[in-house]
């Protein structure tokens, strides 16, 4: 699957600013509410977990152009130190602006939930359990994102809207 790079037409953005803001918020506001509920109101816990996950898998997905076997590899804890980018409280704090002590407390909470673990060097990795826990949440979130993304593309890119499925042209 080839991903097409898309630039926003500045004039279209300015002309349709309020519509674009509405379309964007149509996804982001419910998404933030769902994150709030999923994490028991602790938005910082979500940010810390997301930073760990993004850092961990960045090496793998940046190196692997064809990640057909990603589920097998990413759920094999014995492969983590070889294939995933480690992180620690300092790197998470630096990236997010969250104080290091707060990050440490959030990491401890994530360890207790079984969503991350530390190796002997103090490097932090996601556990396979976190992927299982959030699979449906991610599926539902992406499913909710797509209509807003399509609408934003239509409004801001001057591209023709995608052909309706099931309709003869």
CATH number for the domain including 104?
A: 1.10.10.10
DSSP assignments along 27-89, one per residue = HHHHHHHHHHHHTTT-HHHHHHHHHHHHHHHHHHHHH-S--TTHHHHHT-GGGHHHHS--B-H
Q: Report if residue 30 sits inside a domain.
A: yes
> How much is the pTM?
0.82
Flag whether 5 is in a domain.
Answer: no
Helix pair angle (43-63, 100-113), 10° resolution: 80
Mean pLDDT of the chain: 87
Residue 153 has pLDDT above 70, yes or no: yes
pLDDT for position 163:
55
- Residue 47 in any domain: the answer is yes
Going by pLDDT thresholds of 50, 70 and 90, the confidence category of residue 167 is very low
3-state class (DSSP) for residue 130: helix
- How many domains does the structure of the chain reveal? 1
Other CB atoms within a 10 A radius of the CB of residue 71 amount to 11
Residue 93 in any domain: the answer is yes
Mean pLDDT (whole number) for 40-63: 92
Range of the domain at 38: 10-63+72-156
The answer to whether position 33 is within a domain reads yes
- In angstroms, the CA 36 to CA 45 distance is 10
For the stretch 74-118, pLDDT in tens is: 888 888 888 888 899 999 999 999 999 999 999 999 999 999 999
Residue 134 contacts by C-beta under 8 Å, 6 or more apart in sequence? 38
Please check the confidence at residue 18 and state whether its pLDDT lies above 60: yes
pLDDT at 158: 64
Rounded to an integer, what distance in angstroms lies between the CA atom of residue 149 and that of residue 151?
5
Residue 109 falls inside a structural domain: yes
Cα 8 to its chain centre, rounded Å, is 22
Q: Establish if 85 belongs to a structural domain.
A: yes
Asked if pLDDT for residue 147 goes beyond 90, the answer is: yes
In a domain, 165, yes or no: no
pLDDT reading at 166 higher than 50: no
């Amino acid at each position: 699957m080839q991903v097409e790079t898309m630039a926003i037409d500045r004039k279209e953005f300015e002309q349709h600013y309020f519509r674009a803001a509405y379309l964007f918020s149509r996804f982001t506001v419910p998404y933030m509410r769902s994150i709030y509920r999923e994490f028991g109101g602790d938005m910082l816990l979500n940010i810390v977990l997301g930073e760990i996950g993004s850092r961990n898998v960045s090496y793998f997905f940046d190196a692997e152009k064809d990640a057909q076997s990603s589920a097998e590899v990413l759920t094999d804890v014995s492969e983590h130190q070889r294939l995933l980018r480690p992180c620690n409280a300092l790197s998470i704090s630096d990236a997010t602006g969250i104080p290091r002590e707060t990050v440490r407390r959030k990491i401890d909470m994530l360890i207790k939930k079984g969503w991350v673990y530390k190796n002997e060097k103090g490097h932090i990795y996601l556990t396979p359990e976190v992927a299982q826990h959030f699979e449906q949440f991610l599926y539902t979130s992406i499913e909710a994102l797509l209509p807003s993304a399509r609408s934003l593309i239509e409004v801001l890119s001057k591209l023709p809207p995608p052909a309706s499925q099931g309709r003869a042209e």
